[in-house]
Structure 1
Amino acid sequence: MFPTPIAQTRPATRWLYRIVLPLSLLVWLLPLLAVALTAGRSEADLAAGNFWGWPTWHYGDNFASVFNNTPTLQYIWNSFRITVPVVIGALALSSLSGFALGVYRFKANLLVFFLFVGGNFVPFQILMVPVRDFSLHLGLYDTVTGLVLFHIAFQTGFCTFFMRNFIRELPFELIEAARIEGATEFQIYRKVVLPLVMPALAALSVLIFTFIWNDYFWATVLVNGDQSMPITGGLRSLNGQWVARWNLVSAGAILAALPPVLIFFLMQKQFIAGLTMGATKG
């Protein structure tokens, strides 16, 4: 039923594993290596067709040009203005809805839960036109507020699915004991449940931060101007009108990738603890 551990397989299988794994890792890393090399090339180097050769070491000039000649700092600031409120809002709403669906037993519990989860199965492309028209009707098009509200609405479904399953695994005796002691439902949520699901909230915050920061589709559908454009959508403006400046785009892409990578490494222990919480008993 379960795959055999690689250490227990035949010698030929272990040798094949040792050969295929590094090759697969190299193929996976090739695009990242290409971006890192391109960020250090000059436009003349790219025009000469030197795509995989040794870079001409223009990293300082390219990154300085990104900061000084493009609104990259504004894009990065916009990404933080969008991502941080979305993480806070989605976690707050999903912890409340997860608490209600995980603790209370009522007839429509499963139906309400399916309504939260069902939105995750709808392709975003189908919603592009109605969501854009709706944002225009409410005056939220091309605003940070509109993008924040949209992402909170869509991410809350996935977060509720995540939190409800974690809360249902908690010992129900703790909640019953708190009720016997006279605690209100909100006190049970705040003082009993929340401290126990902090690892899950930490893991979820890393996931949601990465999802929203790396979003490109909705950033280009719901935002048009530089005033509210996040870094993922703003990278396309680093190209010239007549010339493709891939060295600047690559430098901007590296800058755009740094925040989620740093967030993951800073919260790596909490992320792993949240994903593995409840995996073992005893």
Structure 2
Amino acid sequence: MFPAPIQKSSRRWRITYQVLLPFALLVWLLPLLGVMLFSVKPASDFASGNYWTIPASFELFNNYGRVFFESDMPKYLFNSFVITIPTVIGAVALSAMTGFALGVYRFRGNLLIFFIFIAGNFVPFQILMVPVRDLTLGLGLYDTKLGLILFHVAFQTGFCTLFMRNFIRALPFPLIEAARVEGVAEWRIFVFVVLPLMKPALAALSVLIFTFIWNDYFWAVVLTQGPNAQPVTAGITAFNTQFGVAYHMMSASSIIAALPPVAMFFLMQKHFIAGLTLGAVK
């Protein structure tokens, strides 16, 4: 079968694989390593063209201290948490209920509604820029955290429903039938029978949506402006001024902005892997 495990390959290919793997990993990590290097350089290095060599002086604490105490970066980080956490809760909660309805009940129009959820995932989000911006202006939600939260919940629910519906359909249906025979109400079946079985899927989906929303830059720029509502991805551009670019500050703030989703993944890694692989084998 293809792809064959590397252990079953020839000795020459195994050696080639072991030699090329560190090189491929280095190439993949090179942009991140460059940002980490820039984040500890002084501003004078960029003026003198000293980009990739050893810094003239290590400004680790100075650069990161200025990011935290001499800029609006803490406010941008706070905005990101305020936007991301309610979005994850809202999208996952709505998709869990919608996935339960579409996966368990049989009614006319079930597949049509499901296809509508799927079709929303194939709409290029760039073409929605003008109508969504006009809608937020008309509703008074432009440049507000609530506007971003509502939009992300609406936009992410389609993908989440696809994920949840397929997961629920793989659950053992006799459990639901047994609960119905005992006279358990439908909402209690959802809360006490289905939801406990969905914990791996909920964890995996939460990590994915948290990463998607936290790393969003396009809608953060389109629907917000200024530190009152902008998340950290858009706030990093505040170091790009009219007369120059503070590359060392942008790099330091980029590293800080990348830490929460990385921490989220490692904290939920076990549940994330379980949620993605559950049902792969019997």
Q: TM-score range by the shorter chain?
A: over 0.9
Structure 1 counterpart of 2:162, which letter?
Answer: F
1:77-125 deviation line (CA, Å, top 9, x unaligned): 0000000000000011000000001101123111111101111111111
Distance 2:73 2:27 in 1: 30
How many Å apart are 1:12 and its aligned residue? 2.4
Distance 1:140 1:192 in 2: 38
Please name the residue that 2:46 is paired with. Answer: 46
Please name the residue that 2:2 is paired with. Answer: 2
1:28 aligns with 2:34: no
- TM-score scaled by length of structure 2: 0.98
Give runs of aligned pairs for residues 67-216 of structure 1, distance below 5 A: 67-216=68-217
Runs (4+) off by over 3 Å: none
| Secondary structure at the counterpart of residue 280 of structure 1 | coil
Distance 1:169 1:152 in 2: 25
Please name the residue that 2:221 is paired with. Answer: 220
1:139-186 deviation line (CA, Å, top 9, x unaligned): 110000000000000100000000001100011100000001111110
Distance 1:60 1:46 in 2: 18
Structure 2 counterpart of 1:254, which letter?
Answer: I
How many Å apart are 1:20 and its aligned residue? 2.1
Structure 2 counterpart of 1:175, which letter?
Answer: I
Distance 1:238 1:185 in 2: 53
Contact 1:239 1:248 in 2 (8 A): no
How many Å apart are 1:231 and its aligned residue? 0.1
Distance 1:79 1:35 in 2: 21
How many Å apart are 1:11 and its aligned residue? 2.2
Distance 2:119 2:241 in 1: 42
Structure 2 counterpart of 1:72, which letter?
Answer: M
Distance 2:172 2:2 in 1: 29
**Count of residue pairs the alignment pairs up:** 281
How many Å apart are 1:7 and its aligned residue? 1.3
Distance 1:270 1:125 in 2: 33
- TM-score scaled by length of structure 1: 0.98
Structure 2 counterpart of 1:38, which letter?
Answer: F
Please name the residue that 1:244 is paired with. Answer: 245
Distance 2:226 2:44 in 1: 31
Please name the residue that 1:17 is paired with. Answer: 17
Distance 2:54 2:46 in 1: 11
Structure 1 counterpart of 2:101, which letter?
Answer: A
Distance 1:268 1:90 in 2: 20
How many Å apart are 1:241 and its aligned residue? 2.5
Distance 1:119 1:70 in 2: 38
Structure 2 counterpart of 1:77, which letter?
Answer: F
How many Å apart are 1:73 and its aligned residue? 0.4
1:217-237 deviation line (CA, Å, top 9, x unaligned): 000000012100100000000
Distance 1:111 1:24 in 2: 44
Structure 2 counterpart of 1:35, which letter?
Answer: V
1:171-230 deviation line (CA, Å, top 9, x unaligned): 110000000111111011000000000110001000000000000000000001210010
Contact 1:159 1:204 in 2 (8 A): yes
How many Å apart are 1:54 and its aligned residue? 1.4
Unpaired segments ≥5 residues, structure 1: none
How many Å apart are 1:70 and its aligned residue? 1.0
Distance 1:8 1:107 in 2: 51
Quote the sequence identity (%).
Answer: 61
Structure 2 counterpart of 1:85, which letter?
Answer: P
1:247-275 deviation line (CA, Å, top 9, x unaligned): 00000001100111111111111111111
